Amino acid sequence: MNILTAWRSPAQSFSRHKSNKTQDKAGPRPSKGIEIKSKREIELMRESSRIVATVLKEIAEMIAPGMTTKDIDTYAEKRIREMGAIPSFKGYHNFPASICISINSEVVHGIPSPKRVIKAGDLVKVDTGAYKNGFHGDSCITIPIPPVSERVAKLTEVAEKALYAGIAQVRAGNYLMDIAGAIEDFVKTRGFSVVEDFTGHGVGRNLHEEPSVFNFRTHQLPNVRLRAGMTLAIEPIINAGSKQVRILADKWTAVTVDNQLSAQFEHTVLVTEDGYEILTDRNLV
Ligand code: MG
Ligand code: MG
């Protein structure tokens, strides 16, 4: 893939992407190559997304200090399979688990471990995907483990509201830049930063498809015009301090360079003629 994806394998770097001259021009681009889902396909997307929403809702209710991150992964895989789906993440670019679980200053792509124990006060991000009937759903939540500091609570609130500020811009005829601008403005006016090294993405038959759904104003990625039937994973990552991240020696886990906290929420969203439908809405399960 020549697009920046939410999952950056070691071979895909943002700096390499930046040097791609063919992407340097500003302005709207056609939505060529982006699949428009049929009614039937949307129905299948709803089903995969509902499974993801169910798993995340259950994890938010059961997660507690003393559990390991591997415990959460084991539970997620069991539930995804019970609902007739396959974990989208397991084996993807050789990722070894069914969830990404990233704690505190870990930004994304944390690998579950039987040695990593969840503690009171932790800020835990759980991201998962389910594949069923040929389609993926993808969603992420941030779970503060009580008692948490006011700063942790605030960062979590801003991250979740930033996602919804972006989603509010979703409708046929709007552009990806409308989503990005809304997220960037919402976050920056509240004193936090938006990570630029990872973006959201199209989602459907593949976990990651075009377009890159960026969370900050940029002319280095195609500013696609939205069309009804597109399905997008919108997933801003919000840092308490610097937006800069680095990848640990495990080649997966991204962490903040300043060791400050990071939070993320993600939904799989269908573009409709007059707005959107949140396919991974946990209120519906
Ligand atoms: Mg995800
Ligand atoms: Mg995603």
First-to-last C-alpha distance (Å) of the chain: 33
In tens, the pLDDT along 110-119 reads 999 999 999 9
Residue 90 Cα to ligand 1 midpoint, Å, equals: 12
Going from N- to C-terminal start, the domains of the chain cover 35-284
> Is a pLDDT exceeding 90 seen at residue 20?
no
In tens, the pLDDT along 224-240 reads 999 999 999 999 999 99
Rama region for 232: left / alpha / beta (φ>0; ψ in -120 to 50; rest): beta
Residue 68 Cα to ligand 1 midpoint, Å, equals: 20
How wide is the angle at C-alpha 242 spanned by C-alphas 236 and 246, nearest 5°? 80
Cα–Cα distance for residue pair 123/218, rounded to 1 Å? 29
Structure tokens, 271: 């573009």
Residue 121 Cα to ligand 2 midpoint, Å, equals: 26
CATH topology of domain 35-284: Creatine Amidinohydrolase (3.90.230)
If pLDDT is split at 50, 70 and 90, which confidence band does 32 have? low
Segment 81-99 mean pLDDT: 98
In tens, the pLDDT along 179-207 reads 999 999 999 999 999 999 999 999 999 99
Largest CA distance in the chain: 51
CB 118 within 8 A of CB 60: no
Residue 202 Cα to ligand 2 midpoint, Å, equals: 8
151: nearest Cα among 192, 181, 118, 110: 192
